[in-house]
Amino acid sequence: MSVPIQNKRPGKQPRTFHIIANWKSNPASLKDLDRLQKAYMGLRVPDGVRLVVCPSPIHQLIEAGKSIYIGAQDVQVAAIGTGSWSAEMLQSCGVSYCIVGHSERRSLGEQDIDVKKKTIQLIEAGIVPIVCIGESFRDDNGKYINIIKHQLQVVSKGMSLAQAGRMIIAYEPVWAIGRGARACTAVECYEVVQVIREEMSRLIPGLSVTDVVVLYGGSVDSMNAVEYLESGLVNGLLIGRASLDFQQIKSILQKVESLQK
Ligand code: PGA
């Protein structure tokens, strides 16, 4: 499937929402994988929603259907082969999107400069990079904003307007990810999302704030999903745990659909 990534001005209809299901290293058994794949293939994806599933590469890739795009969870940074895969391989397997810079990869030593190299490789292979950024904690002096800006500066350095326009940014505050984490509020999300739009537009001449596609990720579920889209003014969601629960993802899609009306 070719990769559409046109952006719509936040707040103006119709909005296009990206809903990214990050299955991480789940499910553990092939039986559960089969169940989950079948459930996803039976989903009705509303108009204006791009549902992207990012399964583990060791699993048979879910079959890209008319309405489901396939994403990868990472790509290799250089021509070092063991245990990784190239952007070209992903592209030839029908992968349309790829997460890079996830905090779980950064915690293993991935640096901003690696994230940048991966991003460029993906863009060159025609795959949309979903670049994760986010602070580890929030201090009272607003230093977390500088961390966000620095991550954007490294990844976008030397990028052309066309390249920047192919990239999606996922704001994922590290403190809001995973079991037991406190979800970021829509107000906290909104503040950083505005910074991301303004900083990207400052860094890339010609890129307007409304052209910057920003997602939110971190403890998203069917109860809070709509708040991020409505009050956080993001263009979509990056969902971990809740994407493994079919009822949750179904409910999220239904709620997103009602926003389109
Ligand atoms: P979570 O994970 O939704 O389970 O918090 C989000 C992510 O890691 O991308």
Task: Give 10-residue mean pLDDT values along the chain (261 residues).
Answer: 49 78 89 89 91 82 71 86 86 92 94 96 97 95 96 97 97 94 93 97 96 97 95 94 96 92 72
Distance from the alpha carbon of residue 248 to the mean position of ligand 1, in angstroms: 14
List strand residue ranges (DSSP E) for the chain, in order.
Answer: 17-22, 49-54, 68-72, 97-100, 128-133, 168-171, 213-217, 236-239
Class of residue 97 by CB neighbours under 10 A (exposed 0-12, middle 13-18, buried 19+):
buried
Distance from the alpha carbon of residue 20 to the mean position of ligand 1, in angstroms: 10
pLDDT at 61: 58
Q: Helix (H, G, I), strand (E, B), or coil: what is residue 216? A: strand
pLDDT at 166: 96
pLDDT at 135: 97
If one residue of 19, 22, 171 were mutated to test the ligand 1 pocket, choosing by the most ligand atoms within 8 A of its CB, it would be: 22
Q: Which residue, chain included where needed, has tokens 């303004």?
A: 198
Q: Is 177 in the pocket of ligand 1 (CB under 6 A)?
A: yes
Q: Is 130 in the pocket of ligand 1 (CB under 6 A)?
A: no
Residues in Cβ contact with 199 at an 8 Å cutoff, skipping those fewer than 6 apart = 148, 149, 152, 153
